[in-house]
Structure 1
Amino acid sequence: MKNNIEWIFFDVGSTLVNEEKVYCHRLQDIADAVGEPFEKIYNMAIDLYKNNKKGDLELTRKYKVSGSKWYLEEEELFEDTEETLKALSPKYKIGIIANQSLGTAERLEKFGIKKYIDLIIASAEEGVEKPDKRIFNIALSKASCNPENAVMIGDRIDNDIVPAKELGMKTIWIKQGFGKYWNITGENEIPDEEINSLSELKERFL
């Protein structure tokens, strides 16, 4: 995997940043709105994700609940995020390709990891979001990097793996968050590698 790799691109949510508390809060909002136990709503969401659907959004539509807010303040780094970026950044260029609201760079600065990152491409600033391959092409162009010299690491098969693979990038599926429940249904969804935590990247690239 590490042969000829110059850039390592990461998604943000459920890849570098743990969003579990946010999603649970959103599901609790739905449960409160419809008067159902949290456990029931949570398990329904899991079942939807296992069927390659966005569980929280599907439940919002199912119960006709007004959209729950995104609790940015409840995001936190995975425990191995900083140590992994710190280990990789001396040898590789590090980039971000993510669907994020405005201010991604500022949030990564607050988390203390922006210093390891060479390029941040976020949907809100670019006006295009994954899985649109244009956002990947923007990143590759700004990085002056050929697809075959880059790897994309993300939790979402549909948003991260499929478009990056179609462009000729190497792909690693990190099985964190609800994205880990995705059921692969075709060859175009098969990543080059699968990992369960960021710390596994050190074994592969160093």
Structure 2
Amino acid sequence: MPKKDEIKWLFFDVGSTLVDESKVYEDRMKRIADLSGLTYEQIYKYAMSFYKENKKGDLEVARQLGVKLPKWESQYERLYTDTKDCLKKLSRIYKIGVIANQSLGTSERLENLGVRKYLDLIIASAEEGVSKPDRCIFEIALERSSCKTENAVMIGDRIDNDIVPAKQLGMKTIWVKQGFGSLWNITDESEKADMEINNLSDVLKYL
């Protein structure tokens, strides 16, 4: 990682990074179970096998079983218990941004969750018309923040969406091993983050 005084901006993913999505996935898998006639436990185990193969488990299970992927119920999203405190402390030192694949209304949802006030910039796929892992969404964030790549850190749970494209641009990267993204198997040097942490609070030990 660069020296602290060289870091100007911290960019965070939202899902499974700032926001705990476990209840949303539980709801989705229960509905896949209802649609397919299998039990929730069977669906969960099936999905986990795909996540361990670096695939999106819930999507793959729905596809394999021939059922429509249930709607994402964002009302079940909750902040991780350390998110607010972490952002509050970091925002005193750095500019804080979001680069995320999200449906319309990301700013409003983060406002409702009580953390919008700590964020200086929100770049979300629905509003920008481009999604991670496309490097363009990272370039948009860097341009709007007037931040050079060497002064930016990307923090996220997904190796494919967060770490790989950010590294390609020259940003420093931190892999937060939360949610299903923590099951990713590193297969190439390009997938290795500069730092791995198990929760957001660990960020405070280094930044």
Name the TM-score class by shorter chain: over 0.9
5+ unaligned residues in a row in structure 1: which ranges? none
Equivalent in the alignment of 1:143: 145
Q: Could you tell me which amino acid in structure 2 is paired with residue 29 of structure 1?
A: R
Q: Could you tell me which amino acid in structure 1 is paired with residue 178 of structure 2?
A: Q
CA RMSD of aligned residues (A): 0.6
2:132 is aligned with 1:130: yes
Please give the per-residue CA displacement for 1:66-117, whole angstroms capped at 9, x wherever unaligned.
Answer: 1201011000000000000001001000000000000000000001100000
SS of 1:69's equivalent in the other structure is coil
CA–CA distance in structure 2, aligned partners of residues 41 and 2 of structure 1 = 42
Q: Could you tell me which amino acid in structure 2 is paired with residue 190 of structure 1?
A: K
Q: Could you tell me which amino acid in structure 1 is paired with residue 33 of structure 2?
A: A
2:66 is aligned with 1:64: yes
Q: Could you tell me which amino acid in structure 1 is paired with residue 34 of structure 2?
A: D
Q: Give the alignment of 1:33-182 within 5 angstroms.
A: 33-182=35-184
Equivalent in the alignment of 1:26: 28
SS of 2:206's equivalent in the other structure is helix
Q: Could you tell me which amino acid in structure 2 is paired with residue 162 of structure 1?
A: V
CA–CA distance in structure 2, aligned partners of residues 188 and 66 of structure 1 = 34
5+ unaligned residues in a row in structure 2: which ranges? none
CA–CA distance in structure 2, aligned partners of residues 187 and 63 of structure 1 = 34
SS of 2:166's equivalent in the other structure is helix
Equivalent in the alignment of 1:202: 204
Q: Could you tell me which amino acid in structure 2 is paired with residue 124 of structure 1?
A: A
- Asked if structure 2 preserves the Cα contact closer than 8 Å seen for 1:15 and 1:155, the reply is yes
CA–CA distance in structure 2, aligned partners of residues 65 and 131 of structure 1 = 26
Deviation at 1:33?
Answer: 1.0
Q: Could you tell me which amino acid in structure 1 is paired with residue 60 of structure 2?
A: E
Percent identity of equivalent pairs: 62
SS of 1:100's equivalent in the other structure is coil
- Asked if structure 2 preserves the Cα contact closer than 8 Å seen for 1:14 and 1:177, the reply is yes
Please give the per-residue CA displacement for 1:26-59, whole angstroms capped at 9, x wherever unaligned.
Answer: 1111111111111111011111000000000001
Number of residue pairs aligned between Structure 1 and Structure 2: 205
- Asked if structure 2 preserves the Cα contact closer than 8 Å seen for 1:2 and 1:204, the reply is no
The list of structure 1 runs, each at least 4 consecutive aligned residues, that deviate by more than 2 angstroms after superposition, is: none
CA–CA distance in structure 2, aligned partners of residues 167 and 73 of structure 1 = 34
Q: Could you tell me which amino acid in structure 2 is paired with residue 184 of structure 1?
A: I
TM-score (norm 2): 0.98
TM-score (norm 1): 0.98
